[in-house]
Structure 1
Amino acid sequence: MRGQCGKPAGGPTPVTDGDRQNIRLSRVTPEDLSTALAACLQDAVDTGEISVEVPTTIKVERPKNREHGDWATNVAMQLGKKAGLAPRDLAALLAEKLAQVPGVARVDIAGPGFLNITLDAAAAGELARTVVEAGAAYGRNTALAGSVVNMEFVSANPTGPLHIGHTRWAALGDAISRLLRASGAEVTAEYYINDAGHQMNVFAQSVYNRLHGLPVPEGGYPGEYIQDLATQVRTEHPDITALTEGAALPVIREAAYRHQMQDIRDTLGHFGVHFDVWFSEKELHESGAIGHAVQRLREQGHIEDREGAVWLRTTDFGDDKDRVLIRANGEPTYFAADAAYYLSKKDRGFIEKIYLLGADHHGYVGRLKAIAACAGDDPARNIEVLIGQLISVNGAKLSKRAGNIIELKDLIDWLGADALRYSLARYPADSPITIDPEILTSKTNDNPVFYVQYAHARSRGAARTAEAAGVDRSVFDAALLTHATESDLLARLGEFPSIVAQAAEFREPHRVARHLEVVAGAYHSWYAACRIVPVAEGRTGDVQPGEITDLNRTRLWLNEATAQVLANGLDLLGVSAPERM
């Protein structure tokens, strides 16, 4: 691979101007320009013009004012002092070198040392072909290659239906998993089933009481779904009511749990959320993993026996207090299960463990990181805990079936999976959300998911119209894409891979959602200004097209490139890209 400033990547020998003319920016994304600038800096170092450590990446952004060029960078301002030059002098040196790269039309210096870069139309337009040829792979990158991630999210108790409180993490957790995979990480999506402990006994008792026409037990589970479970248990075990309570409860617990877990799986599947692993807490207890975990942590030197109990000294690593692992009566705590579960993830080869927890779990951050440290891991690298804020839906009603909650399946039926997933993905996880159903169910530009999906559907409609009119992609001439709306649209398409990489790195799917809205806006503007299918002079409406030129054929490439970026982005959010709307 050759550097974009006319030198072999990593090679020390500068090349001649003649060599430079054989190299061009065949396509232009921020990453391409970053690579070109880095190569120019390295060229200046190798020729002795400056002495500075060349950064691996150089930030390139779209200027707010298009009159300032296609792209801009402040790298000269960042490195000028280190290079022993005034920022404007370093900018002048870089501008001279970068201007020699075919594909760069002009490089201007602004203010204290900004570089404003203008590309020729052919270099900018070539991106359309790149996107189309890459297809579903466009936007995928290797920024997180080598990362092995366990992504745990939702993990609701199997004692009732999924509700509004689980909705946000279902959408965000799945989107983050998709983004990590798109950036080269190896990801396992995992659901931790809390199927051990007192709540499971209360759950079984609730179903038992319903079978026998008794009131809901103290602290038990109300709602029609308990009656549904009771009916399913009776169907499987017709003689269940003839058994003594002691004999019936284990049977009820197992059967009701199985049916409730199937309901959770089905609901998540309907929401487009899939898990690679369903990890049972009950099996964690039965396998002896908790005792083994305590022994391992003792060997690490962080266990202390006092007051008849076994403690983990989590305060050694910043927790607000030490935590009991084994009570004085010999019973393990929930924290002991958390520790054993963390060690299970570690033993299964997961270098990075990401936990997505609800707003009421802030206290878990310190203790989970302390577990990682006690286990010999680096809390800053090997574990990440994300806390999501609450959501509310205007006008949402409590579920008739569940009695005291708003069920996820009711929200899906009411608002649609696409609208729900997109609206939850377009805000940072740490910001509270109030969803407006009137907007989400409207077919207007005020509805963000409609706005983006309609852009994709419009692009597919434009492709069908072009095919009917005889416009094909037999010719691609990037230099013809000179309209201002084409330049803007191409730039937005070019930003997509870096947006995906940033969204994965920061666990922020909203970056993708917001960028798709920018792409959709740029596409709608281009669609209004530039024709794919020419209309015969003096003719409008559904009439015979005019003469088809290479410009029309090339614009069809740009239309297809836009459709691909919109489809790829929506897929990362778990949202469909409709062909028609």
Structure 2
Amino acid sequence: MTPADLSLTVLHAVRRAVDDGALRVDVPPVVKVERARPGGVGDYASNVALALARSAGRSALDIAGILEERLRDTPGLREVAVTGPGFLNFTLRADAGGELVRAIREAGESYGSGTALAGVTVRFADLTESRALIVAETVVRLLRSQGADAALRHHPPGVAGAPGDEQTGDGGAPGHEWTGADQTGDRRAPAADQTHDQQIPAEHLHIHPAPHTPDLLGPDAARWALLRAAPQDRALDGAPLLVQHERNPLFRVRYAHSRARRLVVNAAQLGFQPSYDVPVHAPELLGVLGDHPLVLLAAARHRAPDRVARHLEAIADALLAFQHTVLPLGDEKPSAAHRSRLALAEAAGTVLAGGLSVLGISAPERI
């Protein structure tokens, strides 16, 4: 990780803290990172917390602690320490990109899942409106991906409050069942302990209504139109999502995934396979891939699947900008650098597929 990579990583952490509501400041255009001075701690240091303290109305030590929490498990950083009045100090790992790619390859499309919300139980109030149901089911998948016990209340046919009946909003009256959604979106069987579930207050989601129109847009564009906008905002116009053009963010995300898959096929035709053997200079792509677990966690905590959609767009843009470096050009022979770039591109495709799966959207191999 170079100083430029580290600066971008810290900037991402500031942006996440602002997005999460932990900090109320304007995100600076750049974050200054410099070599640790003699007698200092680690390899690099930054005074970003001191620079933000006045506008945030908080102490630099508080801000440094908030950023340290978001940087602690960043691929490429062996240690983050807070020293003095609020300096952040960084000790780098020898092979940051390799560790990230290996982590993604090991986890597959479940990369980003974790246990941060283990022990948290969430039950959502009665839902009958189309967009509310789609958003809530997606939020359930996000919560479960982070270890939470999450489910939607389901009214069996004939029970008061079933679709078409007046909602009771009582948080779990007798006769109601709870259903959850796993990573693939399949419904789970009703929870065994119905009495326990009935005692859990139901959480209400505030969602701007909109129709779900898979018959007009197809299943993928119909879901993206409802999930890409923040739940309290109007859903997207569906017609532009059917155009296969780079201005269409859904097309861009799915196309980037298909490009990653085709790069692996094309490389095999040239006689080489993905293998991260040497460091790859791709700070933007490595940065957004490293952010993915925290984005999923924040989306789950804030009940905001639109954060995942926006993040997938950022990954797609970084991958599409990087893809041209992957395969040999002209008479160039495949090298360790090409194998490593291919491994990184393959990992990006895996993350895109996993993120689309969380949203209930397909990731085609070819477009």
- TM > 0.5 between the two? yes
The residue correspondences of 1:521-532 to structure 2 (distance < 5 A) are: 521-528=317-324, 530=325, 532=326
The residue correspondences of 1:134-213 to structure 2 (distance < 5 A) are: 134-152=107-125, 154=127, 156=128, 166-193=129-156, 195=158
- 1:276 maps to what in 2? 188
- 1:466 maps to what in 2? 267
Are residue 348 (structure 1) and residue 150 (structure 2) matched?
A: no
Distance 1:190 1:87, change over 3 A: closer
Percentage of identical aligned residues:
32
For 1:463 and 1:553, the matched residues in 2 are separated by 10
Q: TM-score with structure 1 length normalisation? A: 0.45
- 2:206 maps to what in 1? 387
- 2:328 maps to what in 1? 534
For 2:231 and 2:339, the matched residues in 1 are separated by 43
Partner deviation per Cα, 1:82-124 (whole Å, 9 max, x = no partner): xxxx959x98xxx9xx9xxx966999x9xx9664869577324
For 2:229 and 2:52, the matched residues in 1 are separated by 31
Unaligned runs of 5+ in 1: 1-28, 35-56, 81-85, 157-165, 203-268, 280-343, 353-381, 393-407, 538-545
For 1:413 and 1:526, the matched residues in 2 are separated by 36
For 2:343 and 2:163, the matched residues in 1 are separated by 58
Aligned partner (choices 288, 294, 303) of residue 507 of structure 1 = 303
- 1:518 maps to what in 2? 314
The residue correspondences of 1:237-256 to structure 2 (distance < 5 A) are: none
Partner deviation per Cα, 1:321-348 (whole Å, 9 max, x = no partner): xxxxxxxxxxxxxxxxxxxxxxx98723
Shift of 1:521: 0.5
Please tell me whether the aligned partners of residues 260 and 348 of structure 2 are also in contact (alpha carbons under 8 angstroms): yes
Shift of 1:449: 1.2
Number of residue equivalences? 309
For 1:145 and 1:536, the matched residues in 2 are separated by 52
1:450 maps to amino acid: F
- 2:30 maps to what in 1? 65
Q: Which has the larger radius of gyration?
A: 1
Aligned partner (choices 316, 337, 362) of residue 576 of structure 1 = 362
Distance 1:521 1:116, change over 3 A: farther
Partner deviation per Cα, 1:153-186 (whole Å, 9 max, x = no partner): 53x4xxxxxxxxx331232111101101100012
1:189 maps to amino acid: L
For 1:383 and 1:197, the matched residues in 2 are separated by 17
Shift of 1:436: 3.8
Q: TM-score with structure 2 length normalisation? A: 0.69
- 1:557 maps to what in 2? 343
When the two chains are superposed, the root-mean-square deviation of aligned CA atoms in Å is: 4.6
1:135 maps to amino acid: G
Shift of 1:278: 7.6
For 1:477 and 1:201, the matched residues in 2 are separated by 59
Are residue 452 (structure 1) and residue 253 (structure 2) matched?
A: yes
For 2:164 and 2:123, the matched residues in 1 are separated by 30
Are residue 430 (structure 1) and residue 232 (structure 2) matched?
A: yes
SS in 2 for 1:433: coil
For 2:47 and 2:198, the matched residues in 1 are separated by 38
SS in 2 for 1:391: coil
- 1:492 maps to what in 2? 288
